[in-house]
């Protein structure tokens, strides 16, 4: 008999409080795929962090929904799962698609932990009950608008700023922000917008005392990142390139990354993320928890991951209000004294607001083996 009694996929549309622009494009809303499971005698929820189009990586929401409906969920239902940790083995024959796999794992783990009365934080080895919060700021056409937004965020208590940069909007922007806000902890994220030919230009960022430069080159250019790291004092941090434990260790060995941005969806789930965090800690490589504009479900799970002792740098676990006027959980993440509390209730430790979810649902699908 399957450990999974039922699986429902829901698509929701959640407007953003303001457009969020990166080198990938501009988001005005989140088209989110939610996974609800009845398993292990309980109910659990997961969230797929894939974007609407395959511009961050090869995954996208329509594709993830199709794969979960027709391949991953039927395989999981037909398997002999003893717990969420078995899902990796069951889904191993199906290559890639880590965000889709992570969404199903998250839902199963939520259900299993709720049945056990354990929290995500406990399961992931959290060592603190709150985490410092950094804010990720998109690209602005007007430097004045950017400075106003940063002034508001810092006034709210955010402890670190991450600026998105791209060719033509980098040195001048960073210089102005540094001059305006002094020694605020500051890092930049290029989202693979540059090439190795930009090395000398990027090296000029050294003068601004940045915490790191994140993913300047395409995800498969590990050697180029290593060459850049040799030319810069600013540590190079990889994001899109880190897709598995093996890839992460290769990047470290090559000198392509001195810091790791860890996103559970990108590596196949929170259990894989935990394995990578612990491996990085053993190599004395700092790790921090990145974000994918998650709802309150993913935000709760990220807070639990960010509370692991390997997470030595401030991550992107921000308040729900940073992106959403109304979240889909009854108690959204709130910024207090520059920190986000780590939920300690069973499973994710947050409850869905089903009325809100019903209101913004665009599609529902029950999946059978």
Among residues 101, 162, 204, 263, the one annotated as catalytic is: 263
Round to whole Å and give the CA distance between 225 and 198.
11
Strand ranges for 76-200 from DSSP E:
130-132, 134-137, 160-164, 186-189
Residue 42's H or E segment, with its range, is strand 42-48
**How many residues make up the chain in this entry?**
369
Round to whole Å and give the CA distance between 58 and 173.
30
Side-chain half-sphere of 122: how many Cα atoms within 13 Å? 15
Residue 101 annotated to the active site: no
Residue 204 annotated to the active site: no
DSSP readout, 212-281?
A: -EE--S-TT-HHHHHHHHHH-SSPEEESTT--SHHHHHHHHHHTS-SEEEE-HHHHTSHHHHHHHHHHHH
Round to whole Å and give the CA distance between 312 and 127.
12
Q: Report whether 89 contacts 268 (CB < 8 A).
A: no
| Bridge partners of residue 361, in order along the sequence | 12
| Positions marked active-site | 164, 263
């Amino acid at each position: 008999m399957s450990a999974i009694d039922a699986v429902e996929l829901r698509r929701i549309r959640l407007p953003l409080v303001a457009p969020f622009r990166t080198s990938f494009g501009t988001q005005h809303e989140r088209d989110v795929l939610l996974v609800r499971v009845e398993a292990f005698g309980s109910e659990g929820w997961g969230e797929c962090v894939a974007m609407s189009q395959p511009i961050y990586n090869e995954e996208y929401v329509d594709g993830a929904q199709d794969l979960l409906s027709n391949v991953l969920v039927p395989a999981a239902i037909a398997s002999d799962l003893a717990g969420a940790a078995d899902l990796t083995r069951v889904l191993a024959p199906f290559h890639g698609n880590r965000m889709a796999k992570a969404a199903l794992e998250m839902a199963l783990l939520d259900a299993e932990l709720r049945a056990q009365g354990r929290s995500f934080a406990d399961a992931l080895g959290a060592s603190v009950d709150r985490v410092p919060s950094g804010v990720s700021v998109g690209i602005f056409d007007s430097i004045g608008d950017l400075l106003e937004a940063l002034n508001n965020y810092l006034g709210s208590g955010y402890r670190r700023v991450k600026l998105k940069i791209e060719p033509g909007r980098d040195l001048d922007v960073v210089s102005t922000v540094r001059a305006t806000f002094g020694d605020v902890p500051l890092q930049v994220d290029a989202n693979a917008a540059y090439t190795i030919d930009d090395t000398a230009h990027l090296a000029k960022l050294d003068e601004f005392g940045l915490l790191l430069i994140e993913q300047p080159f395409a995800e498969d250019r590990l050697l180029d990142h290593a060459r850049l790291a040799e030319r810069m004092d600013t540590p190079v941090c990889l994001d899109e390139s880190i897709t598995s434990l093996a890839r992460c260790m290769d990047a470290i060995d090559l000198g392509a990354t001195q810091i790791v941005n860890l996103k559970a969806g990108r590596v196949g789930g929170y259990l894989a993320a935990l394995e990578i965090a612990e491996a990085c800690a053993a190599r004395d490589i700092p790790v921090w928890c990145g974000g994918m504009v998650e709802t309150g479900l993913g935000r709760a799970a990220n807070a639990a991951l960010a509370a692991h002792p390997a997470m030595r740098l401030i991550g992107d676990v921000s308040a729900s209000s940073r992106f959403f006027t109304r979240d889909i959980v009854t108690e959204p993440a709130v910024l207090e004294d520059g920190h986000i509390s780590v939920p300690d209730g069973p499973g994710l430790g947050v409850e869905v607001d089903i009325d809100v979810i019903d209101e913004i649902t665009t599609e529902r699908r029950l999946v059978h083996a």
